[in-house]
Amino acid sequence: MSTALAQRAAHLVSQVSPDTPADAVLRREVGANRELESHEKRALTGAVFAYYRWLRWLDDSRALPQRVLAALDLQKRFDADPASIKAEALVARALPDWALAAIDFPSPEARLACLRQLQRPPTLWIRPQREFAASVIRALRHATPADLSHSSFDIRHSSFAAPTAARYTGPVDLFKTEEFKKGLFEIQDLASQLVGHSCAPLPTETWWDACCGEGGKTLHLSDLMNNKGLIWASDRHTGRLATLRKRAARAHAFNLRQVTWNGGPFLPTKTKFDGVLVDAPCSGLGTWQRNPHARWTTTETDVRELAALQLQLLENTHKALKPGGRLVFAVCTIARAETTDIVRAFSAAHPELEPLPLGGFPLNAGLPTGTFLWPHELDANGMFLAAWRRK
Ligand SMILES: C[S@@+](CC[C@H](N)C(=O)[O-])C[C@H]1O[C@@H](n2cnc3c(N)ncnc32)[C@H](O)[C@@H]1O
């Protein structure tokens, strides 16, 4: 890392504010400087995010560029030998104290493994369309199919298709590849891809992706349904739906209908669904490896308020299920209040919905439904999934 790059990264860090988080500053910088090579973008992003990953190790009295350099040294040392950073230091400094207390880790070993994972630069995952998976992986080079056989998420033996997820380690800007422009793959985290698989939608079914955002999971559901059946995709942000429209056109996904919905009791349609996916707004604790700045801006109040919104979304969406229909709840957080507490409260209020195991996924939350996707198990975002079926 040159001093010039450290200075540039420090300049970006100085622009970060409560209204403009680090990822927004980086997007703006990269968008405004089209001449930046992809390795320069990666170096800049890596430096800014290393700064936030190692923030509590840095000496405030030093100038910002020096702190960025110190963070990069720590990152290099840790990447070469994770044990070089003491376990006690990780527990004390990697996350804010409230966040550590908000997560029920299965064991002290799992807690350490998870914290170590959060200190690594994240893996870039792609999701090729199923029909083109082999050719996309061949064409991109530096793409290797996910191997889940070492983890408890060996879904190859489950009732639905194996994931086509692949990790990408090459130098190329994937957005500029022909394969991306033709819609043959999406950039999508492995844990997010497992959400689509856990829904296991059939081509004959009708689904509602109630919080579709820009459609990462909608497009996956569409692919899993062989572009057949029908998916209603709703979000409160019309801008996100507009992006989904463009992405759907690129991916040749035609079995979609987009509609604005604000999450309230007035549903966007009278249709009854075989499946409803609530990929709910959440605190995003599970994405703190990819976006370490959020560790220092997210609050306990956010967690509490978002948990209330998640319950409200489940309360409103389950009414749209057919008898036998499945409700899948997903969040990219691992905080107790937004995961196991939600399952307990919602299950208790709805005896007419039976908790449903998710095909091929272990029930690891100590409840009749509930699966944590831990970052250290998958080398991906942390997520939580649960599902119910209308009796
Ligand atoms: C986790 S994101 C969805 C990500 C998306 N499913 C994907 O895979 O790309 C949650 C989404 O919920 C939407 N949202 C937030 N509050 C909502 C509400 N009250 N009603 C409906 N959607 C809401 C947000 O706009 C956001 O797009």
Mutate which of 223, 224, 236 for ligand 1? The one with the most ligand atoms within 8 Å of its CB, which is 236
For ligand 1, say whether the CB of 214 is within 6 Å of any of its atoms. Answer: yes
Look at ligand 1, atom 2, and give the residue with the nearest C-alpha: 281
Q: Is the CB of 247 under 6 A from ligand 1?
A: no
- Residues marked as catalytic: 332
Confidence (pLDDT) at 160: 46
**Ligand 1 pocket, residue 211 CB under 6 Å:** yes
How many Å separate Cα 21 from the centre of its chain?
Answer: 18
Atom index in ligand 1 nearest the CA of residue 332 equals 1
Going by C-alpha positions, the residue among 94, 14, 80, 4 that lies closest to residue 48 is 14
Tell me what pLDDT residue 157 has.
47
Measured in Å, residue 370 CA sits from the centre of ligand 1 at 20
CA of 328 to the centre of ligand 1 (A): 14
> Across the chain, how many H-helices and E-strands are there?
15, 12
What is the model's pLDDT at position 152? Answer: 67
- For ligand 1, the distance from its centroid to the CA atom of residue 209, given in whole angstroms, is 10
Ligand 1 centroid–CA 310 distance in Å is 10
> What residues have CB less than 8 Å from 5, skipping those under 6 apart?
40, 43, 44, 47
In angstroms, what CA-CA distances link 264 with 53, 209, 210, 319?
37, 15, 11, 12
C-alpha closest to that of 85 among 71, 99, 96, 97: 71
> Distance, CA 234 to ligand 1 centroid (Å)?
8
Q: Is the CB of 281 under 6 A from ligand 1?
A: yes
Task: Give the torsion through C-alpha atoms of 356, 361, 365, 371, to 10 deg.
Answer: -80
The structure tokens 């831990």 sit at: 374
Q: How far apart are CA 248 and CA 139, in angstroms?
A: 22
Q: What six digits make up the tokens of 260? A: 């604005």
Neighbours of 307 (CB within 10 A): 23
CA distances from 190 to 62, 95, 103, 110 (A): 38, 23, 21, 19
CA of 185 to the centre of ligand 1 (A): 22
Q: Is the CB of 238 under 6 A from ligand 1?
A: no
Indicate whether residue 387 lines ligand 1 (CB < 6 A): no
* pLDDT tens, per residue, the chain with 391 residues: 578 889 999 999 999 998 999 999 999 988 888 888 888 899 999 999 999 999 999 999 999 999 999 999 999 999 999 999 999 999 999 999 999 999 999 999 999 999 999 999 999 999 999 999 999 999 998 888 887 776 666 555 444 455 789 999 998 889 999 999 999 999 999 999 999 999 999 999 999 999 999 999 999 999 999 999 999 999 999 999 999 999 999 999 999 999 999 999 999 999 999 999 999 999 999 999 999 999 999 999 999 999 999 999 999 999 999 999 999 999 999 999 999 999 999 999 999 999 998 877 888 889 999 999 999 999 999 999 999 999 9
pLDDT score, position 162 = 59
Say what the pLDDT of residue 382 is: 97
CA distances from 391 to 35, 294, 309, 318 (A): 57, 40, 25, 12
pTM for this entry: 0.96
Probe ligand 1: pick from 188, 192, 211, max atoms within 8 Å of CB?
211
Residue whose CA is at the smallest distance from ligand 1 atom 4: 213
Structure tokens at 131: 């029909």
Q: Please state, in angstroms and as integers, the Cα–Cα distance from residue 150 to each residue in 263, 359, 376, following that order.
A: 39, 18, 12
Please report the atom of ligand 1 found closest to the CA of residue 209: 6
Q: Residue 348: CB partners within 8 Å, gap ≥ 6?
A: none
Cα torsion for 194, 112, 280, 240, to the nearest 10°? -80
Residue whose Cα lies nearest atom 15 of ligand 1: it is 281
Hey, what amino acid is at 190? L
Whether residue 356 contacts residue 389, with contact meaning beta carbons closer than 8 Å, is answered with yes
Chain mean position to CA 127: 13
Evaluate: CB of 217 within 6 angstroms of ligand 1: yes
